[in-house]
């Protein structure tokens, strides 16, 4: 898709004037964000600035105080329960802590949302789970293993297989490479990029990982002062907001980006 073509299409996610708060603590205020169809958007910001809350708000796990959120053209607040159910199957989520059920095998974890949202026969669900497990680069015998029997990197892949179970259009990832060694993290980045390209996914990825931002993100959204500043890496390198400047020009950035 060329840039002008992409810009003419409705965004995958469109947020206007978002305000979220817990008690008196305001997390987002007047936040606007458009995530383009088919892009990999990296979301960064200091710890506790509200990246995970933003993700959870977009997928309806946290109710905003004000503002509108449209996902795939549909506005959250205006949907019936049936419409909401149909929309929910169009995205997949890998939460910050992985959140696999420890008492279930990998295959059972992957099948959870299939069971919830489809009436497929068990044999077909087994086949679909095996396919997703292969898709994320896990060996076939991982299907019958419990999360505790997998390495950290394998658990992330299992979580990704679960997020892909319903063939989503949007993939939400919350710090998918945290806790992985640099080689494991780079391999995971590559996996996300290749899945995004082959499946045409839109990816909303919260990350602290500068290598991931450089390697796979088309644009970067920075959460500062309760709002989003968005741009390409090149554009943000020119941004003179103090936090953004420190983030992209500090010692870790110089090592990762050579900036």
Ligand X SMILES: Nc1ncnc2c1ncn2[C@@H]1O[C@H](COP(=O)(O)OP(=O)(O)OP(=O)(O)O)[C@@H](O)[C@H]1O
**49, interface contact from Mg ion, ligand X, none, CB < 5-8 Å by kind:** ligand X
**Site for ligand X contains 47 (CB under 6 A):** yes
Q: Judging by DSSP bridges, how do beta strands 25-35 and 13-22 pair with one another?
A: antiparallel
**Site for ligand X contains 21 (CB under 6 A):** no
**Site for ligand X contains 236 (CB under 6 A):** no
Going residue by residue from 105 to 144, which x/- string records binding to ligand X, judged by CB under 6 A? ----------------------------------------
Cβ-based neighbours of 143, under 8 Å, separated by 6 or more: 105, 106, 107, 129, 130, 133
**Site for ligand X contains 52 (CB under 6 A):** yes
Q: Judging by DSSP bridges, how do beta strands 170-174 and 66-71 pair with one another?
A: unpaired
Burial (Cβ within 10 Å: 0-12, 13-18, ≥19) of residue 184 = middle
Answer for the pair 244, 229: CB distance below 8 angstroms, yes or no.
yes
Q: What is the DSSP track for 78-128?
A: G--HHHHHHHHTTEEEE-TT----TTS-HHHHHHHHHHHH----HHHHHHH
Q: Judging by DSSP bridges, how do beta strands 202-206 and 25-35 pair with one another?
A: unpaired
CB of 218 to Mg ion, least distance (A): 21
CB of 52 to ligand X, least distance (A): 3
CB of 1 to ligand X, least distance (A): 31
Neighbours of 250 (CB within 10 A): 12
**118, interface contact from ligand X, Mg ion, none, CB < 5-8 Å by kind:** none
CB of 20 to Mg ion, least distance (A): 14
CB of 124 to ligand X, least distance (A): 37
**Site for ligand X contains 158 (CB under 6 A):** no
**250, interface contact from ligand X, Mg ion, none, CB < 5-8 Å by kind:** none
Stretch that binds ligand X, among 41-49, 126-134, 155-163, 245-253 (CB under 6 A): 41-49
Burial (Cβ within 10 Å: 0-12, 13-18, ≥19) of residue 81 = exposed
Closer Cβ to ligand X, 94 or 143, answer by number? 94
**Site for Mg ion contains 52 (CB under 5 A):** yes
Closer Cβ to Mg ion, 42 or 137, answer by number? 42
Query: Token pair of 118, please?
Result: 């489809």
For the CA atoms of 173, 176, 178, 179, the dihedral, rounded to the nearest 10 degrees, stands at 140
49, 57, 109, 113: residue in contact with ligand X (rule CB under 6 A): 49
Which residues sit at the interface with Mg ion, rule CB under 5 A?
Answer: 51-52
Which residues sit at the interface with ligand X, rule CB under 6 A?
Answer: 22, 27, 45, 47-53
């Amino acid at each position: 898709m060329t840039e002008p073509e992409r810009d003419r299409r409705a965004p995958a996610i469109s947020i206007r004037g978002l305000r979220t708060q817990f008690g008196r603590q305001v997390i987002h205020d007047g936040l606007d964000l458009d995530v383009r169809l088919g892009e990999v958007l990296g979301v960064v910001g200091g710890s506790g600035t509200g990246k995970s809350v933003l993700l959870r708000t977009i997928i309806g796990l946290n109710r905003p105080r004000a503002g509108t959120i449209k996902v795939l053209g549909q506005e959250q607040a205006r949907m019936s329960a049936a419409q909401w159910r149909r929309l929910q199957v169009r995205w997949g989520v890998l939460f910050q802590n992985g959140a696999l059920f420890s008492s279930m095998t990998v295959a059972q974890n992957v099948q959870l949302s299939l069971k919830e949202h489809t009436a497929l026969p068990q044999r077909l669900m087994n086949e679909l789970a095996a396919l997703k497990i292969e898709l994320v680069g896990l060996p076939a015998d991982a299907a019958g293993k419990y999360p505790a029997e997998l390495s950290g990197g394998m658990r992330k892949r299992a979580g990704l297989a679960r997020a892909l179970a319903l063939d989503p259009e949007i993939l939400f990832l919350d710090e998918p490479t945290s806790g992985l060694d640099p080689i494991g993290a780079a391999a995971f980045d590559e996996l996300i990029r290749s899945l995004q390209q082959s499946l045409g996914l839109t990816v909303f990825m919260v990350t602290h990982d500068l290598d991931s931002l450089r390697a796979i993100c088309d644009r970067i959204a920075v959460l500062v002062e309760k709002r989003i500043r968005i741009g390409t890496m090149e554009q943000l390198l020119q941004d003179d907001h103090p936090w953004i400047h420190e983030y992209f020009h500090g010692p870790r950035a110089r090592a990762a980006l050579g900036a």
